[in-house]
Amino acid sequence: MAHDLRGVGDLQFYCVYVDPKLAHLLPRECSVLTVSPLLRELVIEISHLRRHGGIDTTGAGLIEIMLERLGRAPVEQLHLPMPSDRRLRQIADRLIADPSERTTIPEWAREVGMSERTLCRLLSKETGMSFGRWRQQFQIMLALKRLSEGESVQVVAFALGYESSSAFVTMFRKTLGKPPLKYLAERNQGIARLHSSEGAVRTESVMLQ
């Protein structure tokens, strides 16, 4: 499946390639998984196996545990499918240019020349989301980027069109389960642990067959 990734800030990136025969527990569509501390350490340890002489019985056991943990990892709502229809892309481009845009669905439908019902049906078909859910997901992704770059919660909230930072925090918590600063702090702690254990920023790949 064609896809791309974009990272923001200082990070380490590990690729785990799993043979389809071993992937029966994994999601069938592109997903973002919650990586627990144990799963994170398993991926790092397994990435070193071949450099340390190949995969022995212990290594095979680690791989089995990692695959089991991958299969049980919760799917986070951190993806933003983009529509391909040119009319829907007009809407997406407008929101990217002005994230605080609050045009309603009927207004969008008139602007791009389709009925409200057609707009909703087409967006659902191309993204798997309702218009409101897609716009909220767009705001979450943009908020994470800007917060990671050091902007305050209040500045981000106003940039996204919220009348108060508390309203933005409530939306964020409902979507990701934690308020923005706690979510970012926990993610940054994980990155810090990786730096202390590895000592350098790098990319690793693991191929499991």
Express each pLDDT in 72-127 by its tens digit: 887 776 678 888 899 999 999 998 889 888 899 999 999 999 999 999 999 999 98
Domain assignment present for residue 131? The answer is no
pLDDT given at position 170:
93
Domain assignment present for residue 31? The answer is yes
The whole-angstrom separation of Cα 130 and Cα 20 is 31
Domain assignment present for residue 50? The answer is yes
Domain assignment present for residue 53? The answer is yes
Domain assignment present for residue 32? The answer is yes
Contact assessment for residue 116 and residue 109, using Cβ atoms and an 8 Å cutoff: yes
Domain hosting residue 72, numbered range: 13-78+201-208
Domain assignment present for residue 95? The answer is no
Phi and psi angles of residue 13, each rounded to the nearest 5 degrees, phi first: -130, 120
pLDDT digits (tens, 9 = 90+) for 22-52: 888 888 877 778 788 888 899 988 888 866 5
The number of distinct structural domains making up the chain is 1
Helical H segments across the chain, by residue range: 37-47, 57-72, 86-97, 105-112, 116-127, 131-148, 153-159, 165-176, 180-198
pTM: 0.59
Domain assignment present for residue 151? The answer is no
Domain assignment present for residue 73? The answer is yes
Q: When comparing pLDDT for 188 and 105, which is higher?
A: 105
- Amino acid code (one letter) for 145: K
Q: When comparing pLDDT for 164 and 148, which is higher?
A: 164
